[in-house]
Amino acid sequence: MRLRFQVRRNYDRRLEIVNSRILKKINRHHMIDEMTYVKWQKDINAKKISSKLVNTTSFGMWVSETDYKLCWMQCAIKFYAANILYIILKGLHALRIKNLKSAIVLCALLIGALIIFMPQMAYGYNVYLNGSDVGVVKEPAVFEKALNNIEDDMNKWYNIGDLYYEHTVVYTKAPVTKVGSTMDFEESKRTVYEKGFDLYVKGVVVYVDGQELASVGSKEDGENLIKELTMQYTSTSDNEKLMQDAQIDQKITMEEKIIPLSQVEKVDDVVASVFGTKDTSTENVAAANDSVQVKSVSELSDQNKIMTAFSIDKDKFKTTEASASKPLLTIRTVKEVTFTEDVQYGSKYQYDSTMFEGAERVASEGVLGQDKITAIITYENGTEISRQVLSKERVKDPVDEVLILGTMALPSVASSGNFIIPASGVISAINKPGAHAGGRAVDIANRVGTPIYASDAGVVVMANWNSGYCMCVIIKHANGYSTLYGHLSAYKVSVGQTVSQGQLIASMGNTGNSTGPHLHFAIRYNDQPQVILSYFPYLTLGRRVTALQP
């Protein structure tokens, strides 16, 4: 059979019109602001205007990164098909080949050459995480491996089961336009961490009397938490015996829920903060509604297994209200304890007519006795609340102290009746528990050795150790008044000495029950401490005062 060719003069023009239509289809898928112009010259040449266009070397044309990936490929295939047909017809016409067999052989050779020399297109997969294009991978398995590796990390850190997340992962086949542009495992993992998404776990919420205590990774962790809490007060020493297991007064319940990974707490951290109030304020972490889809990371490879964990509803999805605080637990323990208890000694008095009335001296120190006691003691959070004594045995008798009291009448003293500040310094305490209660004393802080002066004229009745005041001076004034000066470092007077107002009597110190150098000063009437502000109304904490000022 012979072929007849009729090459019309307008053939090239028609072919050009066909290709122009193809090119228009390509351009239609470019972004409007790309302004790409294409011109026909036996192949496709393009003028690049926008920097967002990338060169697809396999077909030698410019396309937008945001184009639909397959459309331009279809257009290019149509273009090559048209060109192949055009070349074949031109070749047959030029060679004057009229034999069908020869024409078929020539076509086969031309098509084979085109297949051999046509650049091969490489393909990968665009990854869309929660609708956002995060990059291209050679195979979906690369990105899945990265996600699973992140899951393994979380499992190691939190000792939890499956992880869940709200986002969708979509893979679309796409050409790889540049060597090295695909993400490997490490790059995929880094990209996931950079983009981030909220992870959720199937955890357990522990409640105390209906109030949330903690969110942990598993029921086992919840049980360990309760065990650790009770163990805080069940340890015993050689002289103790635990009579029964520790009991928590409140009702403890646990409930499985889907929990944001960021809210999963470690058992040790909860134990460290549970005996008190710890602010765990958080924002609501998710909109708990039926439309939320939670997909297991381990099931990425099977798109048919997208799941809604527990058929999530408002009761199963945990949300945390702001300003939540941990409840206070009460852990009760009962122990049999054997211990020793001090027995207070008494006082015996002797009298000395050579000492002024009101003065005293310790002739011999008292010695505490000891009792050995066995008792059943009930504790709440380590603090004793009740005691039942089983036995008591005296193992050491106390020895009374001997005090010598003065009986000599005091000389008459012309007291002014007006008191002055006895030392310079800063007011560090006025009203606090103990001897200051009700503002019945004042502390004046300064360095050790600061001079202390008599607040009014009188007779020194004590210049000796005095309980918690340690080194102490007491001056007796007229009309039943006396003044006390405690925590001294040195005496400048002796018992029985008459002093005038403003006379040096001692040096400031840090002796006795003291946390720093200061003078404890008190005014007494008939041996009862008086409100210090009644005599010095201008005193305030932190105010600096000067000795001898009224």
- Radius of gyration for the alpha carbons in the chain, expressed in angstroms and rounded: 48
For domain 413-545, is the CATH number 2.70.70.10?
Answer: yes
| Euclidean distance between CA atoms 250 and 145, whole angstroms | 45
pTM of the model: 0.39
How many CB atoms lie under 10 A from the CB of residue 107? 16
Alpha carbon 118 to chain centroid distance?
A: 60
Q: What does the alpha-carbon distance between residue 470 and residue 487 come to, in Å, rounded to a whole number? A: 6
- State whether residue 59 is helix, strand or coil: coil
Those residues whose C-beta lies under 8 Å from the C-beta of residue 423, and which sit 6 or more positions away, are 444, 446, 450, 451, 452, 453, 508, 519, 521, 547
Per-residue pLDDT of the chain in tens (550 residues, 90 and over written 9): 333 334 344 445 555 555 555 444 444 433 333 333 333 333 333 333 332 222 222 222 333 333 434 445 555 565 666 666 666 666 666 665 556 666 677 677 766 666 655 555 577 888 887 778 888 888 888 888 887 887 677 666 655 556 666 667 888 888 776 667 788 988 888 888 777 666 777 888 999 888 888 888 888 888 888 888 888 788 888 888 988 888 888 888 999 888 887 788 888 888 887 765 444 443 333 333 332 333 333 333 332 222 223 333 334 445 444 334 555 788 889 999 999 999 999 989 999 888 777 677 788 989 999 999 999 999 988 888 999 999 999 999 999 999 888 887 766 665 667 899 999 999 999 988 877 888 899 999 999 999 999 999 999 999 988 878 899 999 999 888 999 999 999 999 998 888 999 999 999 999 988 889 999 999 999 889 999 999 999 999 999 999 999 8
Distance CA 255, CA 524 (A): 64
The domain limits of the chain are 11-117, 122-329, 336-406, 413-545
CATH superfamily of 336-406: Resuscitation-promoting factor rpfb. (2.20.230.10)
For 6, the token pair is 């009729």
Residue type, 527: D
Structure tokens at 165: 């997340």
Two tokens, residue 29 = 């898928």
At what angle are helices 185-195 and 140-158 packed, to 10 degrees?
Answer: 60
Distance, first Cα to last Cα, the chain: 139
Q: Which residues pair with 214 in a beta bridge?
A: 206
* Cβ–Cβ under 8 Å, residues 389 and 373: yes
Tokens of 59: 């077909």
* Cβ neighbour number for residue 147 with a 10 Å cutoff: 20
List, in order, residues 6 or more apart from 82 with CB less than 8 Å away: 15, 18, 19, 22
